[in-house]
Amino acid sequence: MKFDTPATTNPIDQLKIVGKPIDRIDGPLKTTGQAPYAYEQNQEVSGVAYGYVVGSTIAKGRIISIDTEAARAASGVISIVTAETAGPLGLGSMNTAKLLGGPEIDHYHQAIAVVVAETFEQARAAAQKVKVRYAKAVGKFDLVAERANAKLTNEGRGERLTGDFRTAYAAAPHQLDEVYRTPDQAHAMMEPHASMAKWEGDKLTLWTANQMIDWGRGDVAKTLGIPKASVRLISPYIGGGFGGKLFVRSDAVLAALGARAAKRPVKIALPRAFIFNNTTHRPATIQRIRIGCTPDGKITAIGHETWSGNLPGGKPENATQQTQFMYAGPNRMTATRLAVLDLPEGNAMRAPGEAPGLMALEIAMDEMAEKLGIDPVEFRIINDVQVDPNAPERPYSQRQLIKCLRDGAAHFGWSKRSAVPGKSRDGRWLVGMGVGAGYRGNPVAKSAARVRLDAAGKVTVETDMTDIGTGSYTIIAQTAAEMMGVPIDKVIVRLGDSDFPVSAGSGGQWGANSSTSGVYAACVKLREAVCKAVGFDASKAQFADGRVAVGKKSLSLGEAVGPKGLVAEDAIEFGDLSKKYLQSTFAAHFVEVGVDAATAEIRVRRMLAVCAAGRIINPKSARSQVIGAMTMGVGGAIMEELAVDTRHGFFVNHDLAGYEVPVHGDIPHQDVIFLDEEDPISSPMKARGIGELGLCGVSAAIANAIYNATGVRVRDYPLTLDKLI
Ligand code: MOS
């Protein structure tokens, strides 16, 4: 089904089930430990052997030799695979460095061998006996040192100019020109990367933890040099992804290679201390922002340049993404530059682009507001736009950022904030409030589903969409229940299997809106098939209470479809929607912090997010997403940082003891408000994405609150207490 804008009234708009805060239908399975993750998927597989991955202990250079003799002789060892013995391997389209390296080494802890043994312990013990000799090469590991060698990239349109930024900035009566830094960050999801591989002839089945089944299937095939049709990926439950599982990683490829060599099914979980340097991370950025303003607060010139590094062939962190579109200003310049660094691969981490971009931009907006003597909420409102500021003929599908800011300010008690920093005290705590606006694109992607209606009136939905802890099972069930007129407990949802129709997958906060729209399209087709089977006019038929009716004629769905049932499959396609409309999601984040006047210990006290993201399909799962994202924003603001060893080229703090993320004790009062919206341009669901919006703008709101509390402006994340003293 091609989506035609604007969406007309359709059965979803009844909102009997969609739009309701329904508990996650996978909740009991997850909380009782019965939802099997990839590493636990051995019910139907016998004779499983265990793989342990050996990683490179240099960051750049060559392997001179690998001596596996002692490892092979160790007890329980079945086989050992290295690049030498694996046969030719390709590079997946979504991978930057080879998932089995050698002889060239691209980064520290790049996988160079897998040891397969009868037990996990035997594999681990034998892996220690693999002896590797390296010829080390000089690598580049320091973004600050490589900044001058960075090149413009096409990502973020390279250098994008609208109007005449340089002249307008030079002429502006009020100017801001500051540099901000964000560190390398790790996804640090709960479930480690894990896979189990099983070969039947030349057919491979991989149980794995992956956000994007079809991408993963394609890349496994490409890496192993086998047809895509010979690969099946199964990933029904995933313990968090955050972008780290958008792409297949070494666990998947090495499980497949290990299983082929051992002629046994093989499972591999990457140890936590290996994940930080073996898989991907969010690259560090340096960002320079210039804003020129009139005395009454109108932006006349806005410039945002960003520098990040990656392995050769890798992508930049596109931190200027939001600055191209977010605020008014006739003269604009954004530039995205990329340096070569030989650190582990940088790639997408939750809200790539906007999350670190807003960490800089929303501090800059706070600083400019202060220079102008204008309240920071008002300053953002003055510079609101309703169209693409680079192309006024392209409107936003819907943009209520002003309402987010105004409602948030009223709800949070913003009027009590002192405009002068360091003026508010609660005992030993210096107290401050900060605001940050949130902005995150709303991409849409083709998404297919198959829906079956059986003689018992049950609806089964199948799509390769994943649920990474986000609530996909539940919102897909809600969509099918609403469309087919059945209670939600009559819907069975089956996800995360490449045997099912190809969905949008979970990434870039496009999953919820796109995948439910795909289920909607399949349900429209199924309704038509049901009507055709019983001779009803589909345009007049009502589906409700497990029945289909036209006028006085009414049949139960089971009767209507007969003993064999009926099945329909379709996909939603969005055409050139995003060319005609700028689609985004908006938030206003308000934060109150306390900073200890003597020790500078920082405590977040209160947080509020007001979000505008079209129709909210399930306010309970959406709220959980936003609260989780706000929590990650606390990590980004005051804790999270991968420490780079610039001599040896690796992340030093590669476990959850050294890489700090917030825990329950750090989480203050968190509140989320969703604006009551429907976006008829975005999809037949009239929803937009929400998963990543909650992170966008939070960290800057915290930084601004710390400034308001203390009068100390820090532009280098994370804002640890040493930077305040
Ligand atoms: Mo998201 S970083 O696209 O999983």
Q: Which two tokens stand for residue 508?
A: 């870039």
Q: Assess whether the C-beta atom of 243 lies below 6 angstroms from ligand 1.
A: yes
Quick one: pLDDT at residue 366?
Answer: 98
Quick one: pLDDT at residue 31?
Answer: 92
In SS3 terms, 7-68 reads as: CCCCHHHHCCCCCCCCCCCCHHHHHCCCCCCHHHCCCCCCCCEEEEEEECCCCCEEEEEEEC
Does residue 331 register a pLDDT over 90?
yes
Cα dist from 209 to 97, 143, 499, whole Å: 20, 31, 16
Quick one: pLDDT at residue 116?
Answer: 98
Distant-in-sequence, close-in-space partners of 198: CB < 8 Å, separation ≥ 6: 45, 204, 205, 206, 259, 265
Quick one: pLDDT at residue 157?
Answer: 77
Instruction: Write out pLDDT tens, residues 292-301.
Output: 999 999 999 9
Has 692 been annotated as catalytic?
yes
Does residue 668 register a pLDDT over 90?
no
CATH of domain 387-442+579-723: 3.30.365.10
Distant-in-sequence, close-in-space partners of 329: CB < 8 Å, separation ≥ 6: 299, 300, 301, 302, 383, 389
Nearest CA to ligand 1 atom 4: 243
Instruction: Write out pLDDT tens, residues 677-725.
Output: 999 999 999 999 999 999 999 999 999 999 999 999 999 999 999 999 9
Distance 186 CA to ligand 1 centre (A): 13
CATH of domain 11-17+445-573: 3.30.365.10
Q: Ligand 1, residue 245: give the atom nearest the CA.
A: 4
Q: Which two tokens stand for residue 675?
A: 């604006």
What does the pLDDT average to over 24-46?
91
Q: Assess whether the C-beta atom of 348 lies below 6 angstroms from ligand 1.
A: yes
Quick one: pLDDT at residue 507?
Answer: 97
Q: Are strands 49-55 and 266-269 parallel, antiparallel or unpaired?
A: parallel
How many other C-beta atoms are found inside a 10 Å radius of the C-beta of residue 475?
A: 30
Closest CA to 341 of 643, 92, 138, 179: 138
Candidate from 690, 692, 695 with most ligand 1 atoms within 8 A of CB, to mutate: 692
Question: For a pLDDT cut of 90, what percent of the chain falls above it?
Answer: 97
Which CATH architecture does the domain made up of 36-349 adopt?
Alpha-Beta Complex (3.90)
Distance 416 CA to ligand 1 centre (A): 37
Does residue 572 register a pLDDT over 80?
yes
Q: pLDDT confidence of 577, banded at 50, 70, 90?
A: confident
What does the pLDDT average to over 473-500?
98
Candidate from 193, 350, 440, 468 with most ligand 1 atoms within 8 A of CB, to mutate: 350
Q: Which of 305, 317, 367, 692 is catalytic?
A: 692
Q: Where are the beta strands (DSSP E) in 183-251?
A: 194-200, 203-208, 231-234
Quick one: pLDDT at residue 396?
Answer: 97
User: Global pTM?
Assistant: 0.97
How many other C-beta atoms are found inside a 10 Å radius of the C-beta of residue 669?
A: 10
Instruction: Write out pLDDT tens, residues 494-504.
Output: 999 999 999 99
Separation of alpha carbons 382 and 376, rounded Å: 10
Quick one: pLDDT at residue 379?
Answer: 98
Instruction: Write out pLDDT tens, residues 65-104.
Output: 999 999 999 999 999 999 999 999 999 999 999 999 999 9
Quick one: pLDDT at residue 154?
Answer: 81
Give the chain's mean pLDDT.
97
Tell me, yes or no, if the two domains 11-17+445-573 and 387-442+579-723 fold the same way: yes
Quick one: pLDDT at residue 723?
Answer: 97
667 DSSP 8-state letter: -
Domain boundaries, the chain: 11-17+445-573, 36-349, 387-442+579-723
Q: Assess whether the C-beta atom of 465 lies below 6 angstroms from ligand 1.
A: no
Instruction: Write out pLDDT tens, residues 536-559.
Output: 999 999 999 999 999 999 999 999
Quick one: pLDDT at residue 589?
Answer: 98
In SS3 terms, 592-605 reads as: EEEEECCCCCEEEE
Does residue 665 register a pLDDT over 90?
no
Q: pLDDT confidence of 158, banded at 50, 70, 90?
A: confident
Separation of alpha carbons 559 and 547, rounded Å: 9
Q: Assess whether the C-beta atom of 505 lies below 6 angstroms from ligand 1.
A: no
Q: Are 672 and 623 within 8 A, CB to CB?
A: yes
Q: Which two tokens stand for residue 440?
A: 């995150």
What does the pLDDT average to over 319-336?
98
Q: pLDDT confidence of 41, banded at 50, 70, 90?
A: confident
Q: Ligand 1, residue 349: give the atom nearest the CA.
A: 2
Distance 347 CA to ligand 1 centre (A): 9
Q: Assess whether the C-beta atom of 211 lies below 6 angstroms from ligand 1.
A: yes
Closest CA to 192 of 274, 137, 125: 274
Q: Assess whether the C-beta atom of 264 lies below 6 angstroms from ligand 1.
A: no
DSSP β-bridge partners for residue 650 = 645
Residue with tokens 């998963």: 691
